[in-house]
Structures are given as C-alpha cells and as structure tokens.
Structure 1
C-alpha cells in the first residue's frame, strides 16, 4: 500500500465528553447525548455504551450495575438507555399529577 493510500484509512478521534446524566430528565438527556454522538461521529454501540457509562454518577451507576458488569453481546447502548429511562423517567401518573399541580383554578 502506498503512503497516500495508507492515510485514506486513518480515523480521526474527536474530543468528546458527555454531560453528567440528568436523573430528573433522562429522556431529554438521551436526546441531547444522541445529538452530540451524531456531531462527533460516534456511531458504534460500544462507544455509545462506554460514553453513557462514563457520564453516570456512582448513585446512578449502582442502578445499572448488572448491565455494566455483564453487558449483552448486542445492543448494549439500547439496553442501558431503556433501563435508565425506565428507572428515572416519570410515570404517566406522575406526569399528570405534575401537570395538575401547576394549574390554577379560576374563582378561588
């Protein structure tokens, strides 16, 4: 392979640091991080999983410890994302309660 041809396969790493996971808004955090993944050219399941794990506090990490210790062979990122959203996202009931708590009734 020529010197010129060898450079064609070079991969450039982009400096990337994910923001710390937001327990109060996990779905919004995943929207943000996925935009950052696209911008940084991060496409592999392993990289997305690793960046996600690196952004978790000790407290949050303990909630997904079994996935981190023994990740599935495929869909690691999807698995940890689903677990984090299921654990920290508000249920429909809680969302409804929040909505009603912010409403003010007339003629009080």
Structure 2
C-alpha cells in the first residue's frame, strides 16, 4: 500500500459525531482532532466529512456552500458559517447563566464547570460567580457553603 493510499484509507476512517448545535466551536475542535489523528489534511476531505455530519435543519444554513462549493477554503468557509449561525451570543450566555443553569441531577463540580463555561468571556468576577453557584445549591447546603472562604472549586 502506498503512502497516498494509506492517507486516503485513514481519511475514510474519520468518525465524527453528529453536529452539536449547542456548541459548534467545540464540535469543530473535535472534528479537527479527528482529522489530525486520521492524517486528513486536504480541504476537500475535511469539507465533505463536515457536510456529511450536518442534518437537514442545519444544512439549510449552508445551502449555498453545498450547492456551489467555493473553489478554495471550503472547510474554513463552512466552519465559519456554522459557528456564526449557532454559537450562543454573549447575551444568550448571560441569560442562560442567570436563568437556566441549575443543579438538577448534576454534581456540584459539573454545575460549576457549566457555570464557568457560560461565564467565559463575559468578564464576570469570582464573587458574582460564587453567588450564582451558591443560589443553585440545595437550600439546606447554602448556609454552610456561604460562610466558607474557599475557592469556587473547593466549594464544588
């Protein structure tokens, strides 16, 4: 088997998860890790792998790029479009951080990670994050945690 045939075989073995509408940037990070592991470097190959993993509700956002693929940078253009269409805005992250993020059946460490993920890039200081985190703890636990001087990680 020649080197070129081996590279083509490796490219076929790329296993991407279905597109993550809720976190397109991390989905592309996953895809790029798979491309590196499989030795995929060609723009066309990356482009077609990505196109194959988006469903009907997503592909309508890149119809023009699918029907008439650009001559160059196909992958980069599809990536930029999908991230711009599906990435949660700073306002959306703040809204979710303030309203939708609760402990539920998560562990406190997982809730903290989710809270910090939503707060990333929003310039929210540690004290505000601590208040938001404590508000999501069970009522019986809050008084004990609120008097602790520990970091958020220790609280979780």
Larger radius of gyration: 2
From the superposition, tell whether residues 22 and 37 of structure 1 become closer, same or farther in structure 2 (CA, over 3 Å). Answer: same
Write out per-residue CA displacement over residues 39-89 of structure 1, whole angstroms, 9 at most, x where no aligned residue: 000011100000000001111111111111111111100000010001111
Aligned match for 2:51, one of 31, 44, 53: 53
Q: What is the CA–CA distance in structure 1 between the aligned matches of 2:14 and 2:86, rounded to whole Å?
A: 25
Query: Aligned partners of 2:4, 2:58: CA distance in 1, in Å?
Result: 36
Q: Which residues of structure 1 form unaligned runs of 5+?
A: 1-6
TM-score by length of 1: 0.83
Distance 2:40 2:24 in 1: 20
Q: Which runs of 5+ in 2 are unaligned?
A: 102-131, 137-141, 144-156
- Residue 92 of structure 2 is matched in structure 1 by 94
Q: Which has the higher contact order (CA 8 A, sep 6+)?
A: 1
Count how many residue pairs are aligned between Structure 1 and Structure 2. Answer: 101
The alpha-carbon deviation at position 97 of structure 1 amounts to: 1.4
Partner of 1:87: helix, strand, or coil? helix
1:11 partner SS = helix
Please tell me the root mean square deviation across aligned C-alpha atoms, in Å: 2.0
Distance 1:77 1:97, change over 3 A: same
Task: Give the equivalent residue in structure 2 for 1:3.
Answer: none
Q: What CA distance in whole angstroms lies between the structure 2 residues aligned with 1:91 and 1:46?
A: 30
Q: TM-score, normalised by structure 2?
A: 0.59
Corresponding position of 1:19: 17
Alignment partners' CA distance in 1, 2:76 and 2:87: 16
Q: Judging changes above 3 Å, is the alpha-carbon distance between structure 1 residues 99 and 67 closer, same or farther for their aligned structure 2 residues?
A: same
